Structure 1
Amino acid sequence: MAKIVFGMAVPHSGMLGQKPEDWLNNGERDRKNPALWYKGRTWTYPELEAERGAAFAPFLTLEERTERAGRCRSALDKMAQAYADAKVDVAIILGKDQKEIWPDQSPSITIYTGEDVHNGPPQRDVYAPDHHVVHKAYPEFATYLINAFQNSGFDLNDLQAWPENVWMAQRQGYKPDYPVVPHAYSFVYHQIMGDNPPPHVPVLFNLFYPPTQPSMKRCIEFGRVLREAIAAWPEDVRVAVIASGGLTHFVNDEEFDRDVMGKLAAYDYEGLAAIPDTYYQSGTSEVKIYSIVMMALQPTGAQMELVDYVPCWRTEAGTGEGMGFMYWQAPEA
């Protein structure tokens, strides 16, 4: 029987691939953003600045940025080593499409049932190698999972072939002759799996765009069904469940991040579900899929290992991204 042995939640921010000298460039985008999510609602940058002042200016020095970038790099290396040590045979990778492959639609939950996954240029080098690579998914397992979810009251989208990554083609100015996978998955393949993923199932959640976003409660239920379905899969394989994204962004909220990480470590599903959905918006919405990992790993007795938490700032008013690096290792694995 299949056995869940490892779980992970890892950010996939483009800042992780930038030199610290360039971090503040992203701040210009934040200043022009008319809808920065913070404390359950949207703010303009001037409103945010009026609310928070310039409290985060001390963290914008090059010395500070360099130190935080080094911590992130060290944490990613430790995460990749923990994944390698788990010796998994199959992975479930949880992520999202950010209008990269679906600019005109937002399916709530999708499972990829095709065979091939493409990565490489024009994807940025933090997400992909400098050449085209093809990874193998796991169509049989993916189809089995869709049936299991359908039988448990979930109506899922079946993605049988990757569409063109139109966002990447527009951003980089040319279109490759293969469909580049969204960056949530590229990051895991490249940074955690060393461009050598095992047979795996990509699961895509609409975490960004109302009105079809699954709630935190629905994601928790998804985790329960996923756990039971994996346990019933007859193959003798070691399975990892990996969530790509989070924590708070594009306005850092360290208090919120630490509260969420505490609830994750305590398997506090009620606490996570009690947080208003207005707090799980914009990039912070990616926290929802962390609950799936904790639900999958809880029966193993795994305790969350927090490798590091690094708030990475890019404006005086505190825009940026909260980088949380955590994994769950089954004790008997």
Structure 2
Amino acid sequence: MKIAVLGHPNSWYLRDLQRAKQERHEQLELSAVAFTQISTCVEPANNASVFLSNTHDLATYDAVLVRTMPPGSLEQVIFRMNALAMLQYSNDGPSQFIPPIVLNSPRAIEIAVDKYLSLALLRQNNISVPRTHICQQADAALHAYEQLGPDVVVKPLFGGEGRGITRVSDPALALRAFKMIEQLGGVIYQQEFIAHEGFDIRILVIGDNTFGIRRVNPDDWRTNLSLGARAEPFDASSELVQLARRAANVVQAKIAGVDILIAPDGTPTVLEVNAVPGWKGLAAATGKDIAQEILTFTIAQIADHRRKS
């Protein structure tokens, strides 16, 4: 069984997956593949697309596990997603050839990476989310700020781990930030700030299994582990587990990190859904072997895919 891992070959996550692989008794091959190395060709003679990454023919793998979504130009990002989408329907090879599964699917990644689209779909499915306004012009954003404010969080439309997030509570500073984003050709994405007690909840969904932590940061309103928060094991209620599963299902992700904040009125509010979630801090806090959980789930998905093909 062969699994290609789209990610940096020296990443902690690949090393953890390789470690987990060594502890299993079945034959399993893991290969690191970089997004930037993907190339394809369309052969009219046999109506086939070939997907290559250096010496790796991705179409010969049983699964492609997406572990990163690197930045790139609009053309590069669209090509990468379309290549992954077409890989699932590759018909190269003999008649019994079964194309690989991609986890998460390109569509799930597209939805989750776009904060506006994912949040809108969550709200459409009656999941509580923060009040959010998205604008392209600074003047419109200032009007939205007056409705959301005086305390808002400005985020980049794409990106994670707390990068580029700013909290603004002054109209003049807000307008300055909005003008800068407009000048850079960005989209102005702002949310109401929801007061909290210095922590939020991350629930990792892997198929039917869930694992929870509290991300605690008494020194900063941001609770990202990458920004200094600490992870604590958290026994999520059935209500929160069901909420996380619903949120993952909305973005079509089988593996997802769902960030939840308990609002002052007690309402669980979904902040974001990550379709390429990390697990280093969660594994350390819970003592769970998340890499093994990922491999077990991926292997089960391969078997299910083969039965249906």
- The TM-score, its normalising length taken from structure 2, stands at 0.29
Higher relative contact order (CA 8 A, sep 6+): 1
- The TM-score, its normalising length taken from structure 1, stands at 0.28
Structure number having the greater helix percentage: 1
Structure number having the greater strand percentage: 2
